Amino acid sequence: MKTLRNLFIIPLATLIIGCSSDDSNRTIDPPNDGGDIIGSELIGDITADSKLLASVDYIMTGSVTVKAGATLTIEPGTTIKAKSGRTDVFLAVERGAKLIAKGTASNPIVFTSDASSPKAGDWGGLVLAGKAPSNKGLDVQSEVAGLLYGGTETNDNSGELSYVIAEYTGAKINGEQEFNGISFFGIGNQTVVNNIVVSNGNDDGIEFFGGTVNVTNVYCANIADDMFDWTGGYTGTITNAFGVRNQGFDAATDDPRGIEGDSNSSDATAAPISTPTLNNVTILNLNPDVQLKAGAEIRRGTVATINNIFFAAYGSASYGNRIDTKDDKGNGFLTVLNANAQGNVGDDKEGGAINGTVTEITDGFTVPADNTIEFKAGIGADLTAFDWANQSFVVTK
């Protein structure tokens, strides 16, 4: 395997603006012919199989795009810091490329900000594109990073993300475009995604734009907009999802939600309909200053099933609605099984059908003397699955 001393681009313009790349306006020097990337600066296109090493302190100073046909492997324990205050700093994986970011519980892979005082929105995030179906079409351009996605390959494989932390994401490009922590555009079900943490994000935590990828153990903490989001005909399964807004995290859009599920805002009947299944989910609001618009807003043709969900709020923290299936661009249809609620989580707003009932309980979580929160086993998500990421929260009584 060859060794790359650096991976960087030399822009012909003095400044790259926005988040799309234009290969005709840039060159890569030295040639990117694959191998271990040992130079610390990351910017540009990866066109051959390459690896990031845990022993190198990487800083991403601009967009990095894994091009079709190439695989980027990231060693367990690698930390990639992103140059803060930019809208053009992100990692993108093209349709036909792969990202193998396979960390471990003891050595996760971390994407973070380089700022001395990091904050939500310091950099973009992770953007992956694949060949799985979308009800937007076969060749659709992603809303960020300018990637094409979509196709007919439900079992497409874009690699693996395991034991990955992405924090301080969500750079805002303009009024309509901003990065999520991790965006999956048309990703197929042979892609492995498990044990993911997105924290301190300035837009959505994790969002699926069509595709069939399944996700296990995903934790979204302190997300300005929606914790878990899908649109465009997403048909995968999400298992063990924990979302929390902590006390003191006040970054928020006008309508932050725990779950936002769409199918197609232009045509709620467009195929494939979004029909995801979610198993073992907790949506928790601890912040009395920021109300969640809804625990689960299921709309625009989405047909979803959620098994074992816990809607929870502590103290004076609240939701506007618990479940909302009413929307002027198309109602949603939700089946809930083994659904529980505790605290001020609002009422349900039914436009499309809400099948199943939510049981009000008082012992789903407790706050012992040390002011930490403890959860009753079997109610919603299993928080212990995220012990590896040292995620915890303390409340003020």
pLDDT tens, residue by residue, 351-375? 999 999 999 999 999 999 888 999 9
Using CA atoms, how far apart are residues 215 and 44, in angstroms rounded to an integer? Answer: 29
**Whole-prediction pTM value?**
0.92
Query: Quick one: pLDDT at residue 20?
Result: 38
Reply yes or no on whether the pLDDT at 14 is more than 50. no
Query: Quick one: pLDDT at residue 175?
Result: 60
SS3 386: helix
Reply yes or no on whether the pLDDT at 42 is more than 90. yes
Using CA atoms, how far apart are residues 281 and 220, in angstroms rounded to an integer? Answer: 11
Residues 46, 200 contacting (CB under 8 angstroms): no
Reply yes or no on whether the pLDDT at 156 is more than 70. yes
Residues 67, 23 contacting (CB under 8 angstroms): no
Over residues 319-324, mean pLDDT: 98
Q: What is the pLDDT of residues 66-125, one digit of tens each?
A: 999 999 999 999 999 999 998 899 999 999 999 999 999 999 999 999 999 999 999 999
Residue 115 structure tokens: 């700022």
Query: Quick one: pLDDT at residue 393?
Result: 77
> Which residue type is seen at 71?
T
End-to-end CA distance of the chain: 57
Query: Quick one: pLDDT at residue 263?
Result: 98
Residues 78, 57 contacting (CB under 8 angstroms): no
CB neighbours of 390 closer than 8 A, spacing ≥ 6? none
Residues 392, 371 contacting (CB under 8 angstroms): no
> Which residue type is seen at 33?
D
Dihedral pair phi/psi, residue 16, rounded to 5° = -95, 125
Select from 109, 80, 254 the least CA-distant residue to 195: 109
Reply yes or no on whether the pLDDT at 26 is more than 70. no
Residue 18 structure tokens: 């926005």
Residues 121, 206 contacting (CB under 8 angstroms): no
- What is the pLDDT of the chain when averaged over all its residues? 91
Over residues 4-28, mean pLDDT: 34
Dihedral pair phi/psi, residue 201, rounded to 5° = -105, 145
Dihedral pair phi/psi, residue 386, rounded to 5° = -110, 20
Residue 139 structure tokens: 């060749």
Over residues 118-144, mean pLDDT: 96
Query: With bands split at pLDDT 50, 70 and 90, how would you rate the model's confidence at 382?
Result: very high
Over residues 188-199, mean pLDDT: 98
Query: Quick one: pLDDT at residue 109?
Result: 98
Residues 83, 143 contacting (CB under 8 angstroms): no
Reply yes or no on whether the pLDDT at 208 is more than 90. yes
* Per-residue b or e along 318-348, where b marks 16 or more CB atoms closer than 10 Å to that residue's CB: bbbbbbbbbbeebbbbbbbebbbbbbbbbeb
Reply yes or no on whether the pLDDT at 28 is more than 50. no
Reply yes or no on whether the pLDDT at 204 is more than 70. yes
Q: What is the pLDDT of residues 164-181, one digit of tens each?
A: 999 999 998 766 678 999
Query: Quick one: pLDDT at residue 76?
Result: 98
Using CA atoms, how far apart are residues 303 and 233, in angstroms rounded to an integer? Answer: 10
Over residues 303-314, mean pLDDT: 98
Lowest mean pLDDT across 18-27, 150-159, 303-312, 346-355? 18-27
Reply yes or no on whether the pLDDT at 5 is more than 90. no
Select from 362, 357, 396 the least CA-distant residue to 379: 362
Alpha helices per DSSP H over 293-376: none
Query: With bands split at pLDDT 50, 70 and 90, how would you rate the model's confidence at 8?
Result: very low
Max alpha carbon distance in the chain (Å)?
62
Which residue reads 């005709």 in tokens? 24
Lowest mean pLDDT across 12-16, 204-208, 362-366? 12-16
Select from 243, 256, 233, 195 the least CA-distant residue to 385: 195
User: To the nearest 10°, the Cα dihedral for 74, 76, 82, 87?
Assistant: 60
Over residues 11-33, mean pLDDT: 37
Using CA atoms, how far apart are residues 101 and 95, in angstroms rounded to an integer? Answer: 17
Using CA atoms, how far apart are residues 139 and 37, in angstroms rounded to an integer? Answer: 32
Q: Report how far Cα 320 is from the mean position of its chain's Cα atoms.
A: 23
Residues 284, 313 contacting (CB under 8 angstroms): yes
Using CA atoms, how far apart are residues 79 and 52, in angstroms rounded to an integer? Answer: 9
Residues in the chain: 397
Using CA atoms, how far apart are residues 7 and 130, in angstroms rounded to an integer? Answer: 24
